[in-house]
Structure 1
Amino acid sequence: MFLAFAAMKYSFTIMGGQFAEDLVKIPHNPFIYFFIGLLGAAVFQSSSAVTTIVVGAVASGHMSLDDAVFIVMGANIGTTVTSTIVALSYIDDKSVFMRALSGAALHDFFNISVALIFLPLEMFTGFLSNLSQNLSGMLFDNGPGINVTVFEGYDFGLDRLVKYIFSNFSEYPWFIFLSAIVLIIGSLKLIGGVTKQVLMQNNNISTNTLIFKNDGASLLSGTAMTAIVQSSSITSSLIVPLIASKKLSLERGYMFIMGANVGTTITALFASMATGTEFGIEIALTHVLFNILGVLLFLIIPGVRAFPIWYAKKLGFLAAKDRIFGFLYLFTLFFVLPFILVWLSV
């Protein structure tokens, strides 16, 4: 995973100004960047891959924090496509499919709800980007706190290793860039596949186990497991079979998903540390703040927590009545709508 981060950093370093021009050639429009993030995470099936790319772009100065924050917001929604695809595998049985799609949609509607709160707030006030810059300044300035130079050796010589591996391809930065993407996605899939196999072979997993014993345990388990796996799309898809088989309630699965949203920010933080730049750390902190503040809002404000559960149940009911609705929901939300909106806007 860290080799992938270093390769991404190296590719951005040698691409230079021309790539920066191509990367931000589209108009400065928060909605365009938002849907690019959504579409990118849906295609890669991982917000971690997208946020890692964005961290590299910001750290190298090829993308502004103001643009990157909207890509991160969109990626948070796009990553939920994996659990929705898993839910579609239960389409043969109407009642099971209803529960499976409801479980998958929990992640969708939670992230959509958080984006509906922070997207306009960021557009009009720059709330998240300003807060991340202030927090980064407190942590990594030369004054009290942690200095950013602490992380310059964090790669344990990975920068030198990457330069050696790709020394014959320095004139082909796109090859290095694509190789880094393949390494990131491959790492996430490998880690997630092993974890999923271990968990799904354990028939004792239920609401009575330590993982889902209560709301607090579900929240902490979601955070810890996703931090280890480094992909919320993988951990959130694990609860779909449990909800479909009635081993886990929607409410308890919902807490696990909120924890997963916090845990997935670890990947971007690791990537930002590998860059050794304050700009990369700022966008990583934006990702952390977006997810943590979103979880806190839905935990603290009375009644707000119920909205995603209600919509998830409603979607499952509609899909059970007409199962083609599940496919339409998947392709419209994650692929057709963002592609059309981006295409019309550029």
Structure 2
Amino acid sequence: MDINTIVLVLTLLSGVALFLYGMSVMGDGLKQMAGNKLELILYKLTNTPLKGLLLGAAVTAVIQSSSATTVMVVGFVNSGMMKAAQAIGIIMGANIGTSITGWILCLSYIDGQQGIAQLLSTATISAIVAILGIIFRTFLKKDVYRQLGNIMLGFAILMIGMQTMSGAVAPLKDSPAFVSMLTSFTNPVLGIVFGIALTAVLQSASAAVGVLQALSVTGAIVFQSAYPMIMGIGIGAACPVLLSAMGTNKYGKRTALVYLINDVFAMILGTTLFYSVNAFVHFDFYSMT
């Protein structure tokens, strides 16, 4: 392994570390602001599957982690506060809510050098949010403002982490070995396995999607490679939930298993429908960056 590869790997890992830390700071700040309200809301508003689904999506969009939402739910089921049947709607909603992070990350890739587009660049947004965050954190005495400052700082760190990841992987588009490796993931099974492994290592579906977004921006990865990886990332997100359920009773374990089954079913449904339709329609975007 040459020195350039070592520097690239270290830079990428530092970007992932900043991303995960920023996401953690954001989530903790939001939970501190809400106090025990999140837990009470999750407990009380799950009397119908639709309510559970909407609630799971909303809470996960706020705390930026489907695993964290599901781990809370596993705890409720384990303690007897909630039935496993009530948890299903929240779990399905959590998988929808976690995609919000990916859309937030798209701000990192708004391309423009002039006018309004420049104001929406990652550097500008990160700078403004970081400055406001440190002002709230340092100079305002009320706890709610200090927590809001933490949320802003977490968001800024998350965006800087994305920039770092993007910068690290940018040279890879000119690497024949790397392009060849990514091309091998056009085999859906390999792509799914890679997505599962990446998410299991990072312990975060949002971080895994962030790495994939950073790779895609370089132009080195096409849709047919990215799609199965996304399917695998969904399953890999169940790893921290399954770990959290190891010490729970049978109902807590069942709830964690529901999360895994939901992700596996989504993968089977998504791949079967997509590849079946593509066999007849031949999507134009299939081999596009």
User: What's the TM-score once normalised by structure 1's chain length?
Assistant: 0.50
Partner of 2:67: 48
Q: Deviations over 1:200-232 (max 9, x none)?
A: 624326762535522333221110010111111
C-alpha distance in 1 between matches for 2:183 and 2:165: 17
Please report how far the alpha carbon of residue 296 of structure 1 lies from its aligned counterpart in structure 2 after TM superposition. Answer: 1.7
Q: Which of the residues 272, 275, 280 maps onto 2:245?
A: 272
1:89 aligns with 2:56: no
C-alpha distance in 1 between matches for 2:163 and 2:78: 33
C-alpha spacing 1:22/1:241, structure 2 compared with 1 (3 Å): closer
C-alpha spacing 1:212/1:194, structure 2 compared with 1 (3 Å): farther
Given residue 293 of structure 1, which amino acid in structure 2 is its aligned partner? F
Please report how far the alpha carbon of residue 288 of structure 1 lies from its aligned counterpart in structure 2 after TM superposition. Answer: 0.6
1:285 aligns with 2:257: yes
Does the CA-based 8 Å contact 1:37-1:73 persist in structure 2? Answer: yes
C-alpha distance in 2 between matches for 1:42 and 1:212: 33
Given residue 80 of structure 1, which amino acid in structure 2 is its aligned partner? S
Q: Summarize the alignment of residues 92-131 of structure 1 with structure 2, pairs less than 5 Å apart.
A: 92-93=111-112
Give RMSD over aligned pairs: 3.8
Partner of 1:201: 168
Does the CA-based 8 Å contact 1:24-1:63 persist in structure 2? Answer: yes
Which one has a larger percent helix, Structure 1 or Structure 2? Answer: 2
Q: Deviations over 1:52-104 (max 9, x none)?
A: 1111111111111111111010000111111111112222349xx9xxxxxxx
Partner of 1:140: none
% identity of equivalent residues:
29
1:294 aligns with 2:266: yes
C-alpha distance in 2 between matches for 1:195 and 1:46: 17
Mean Cα deviation higher: 257-266 or 196-205 = 196-205
Given residue 256 of structure 1, which amino acid in structure 2 is its aligned partner? M
C-alpha spacing 1:90/1:196, structure 2 compared with 1 (3 Å): closer
Partner of 1:250: 223
Structure 1 segments of 4+ aligned residues over 6 angstroms from their partners: 19-22, 193-196
C-alpha distance in 1 between matches for 2:194 and 2:242: 19
Q: Summarize the alignment of residues 8-19 of structure 1 with structure 2, pairs less than 5 Å apart.
A: none
In structure 2, the residue corresponding to 1:210 is in which secondary structure? helix
Please report how far the alpha carbon of residue 243 of structure 1 lies from its aligned counterpart in structure 2 after TM superposition. Answer: 2.2
Does the CA-based 8 Å contact 1:298-1:304 persist in structure 2? Answer: no
1:263 aligns with 2:236: yes
Q: Which of the residues 181, 189, 203 maps onto 1:230?
A: 203
Does the CA-based 8 Å contact 2:242-2:257 persist in structure 1? Answer: yes
In structure 2, the residue corresponding to 1:248 is in which secondary structure? coil
Please report how far the alpha carbon of residue 263 of structure 1 lies from its aligned counterpart in structure 2 after TM superposition. Answer: 0.6
C-alpha distance in 1 between matches for 2:219 and 2:236: 25
Matched positions, count? 201
5+ unaligned residues in a row in structure 2: which ranges?
1-37, 118-149
Partner of 2:55: 36
Given residue 45 of structure 2, which amino acid in structure 1 is its aligned partner? I
Does the CA-based 8 Å contact 1:226-1:260 persist in structure 2? Answer: yes
Partner of 2:82: 63
C-alpha distance in 1 between matches for 2:165 and 2:55: 34
Please report how far the alpha carbon of residue 21 of structure 1 lies from its aligned counterpart in structure 2 after TM superposition. Answer: 8.0
Please report how far the alpha carbon of residue 40 of structure 1 lies from its aligned counterpart in structure 2 after TM superposition. Answer: 1.0
C-alpha distance in 2 between matches for 1:284 and 1:300: 25
In structure 2, the residue corresponding to 1:28 is in which secondary structure? coil
Q: Which of the residues 210, 213, 228 maps onto 2:181?
A: 210
C-alpha spacing 1:221/1:35, structure 2 compared with 1 (3 Å): same
C-alpha distance in 2 between matches for 1:56 and 1:281: 10
C-alpha distance in 1 between matches for 2:168 and 2:92: 34
Does the CA-based 8 Å contact 2:182-2:221 persist in structure 1? Answer: no
Please report how far the alpha carbon of residue 297 of structure 1 lies from its aligned counterpart in structure 2 after TM superposition. Answer: 2.4
C-alpha spacing 1:21/1:225, structure 2 compared with 1 (3 Å): closer
C-alpha distance in 2 between matches for 1:298 and 1:44: 26
C-alpha distance in 2 between matches for 1:270 and 1:212: 32
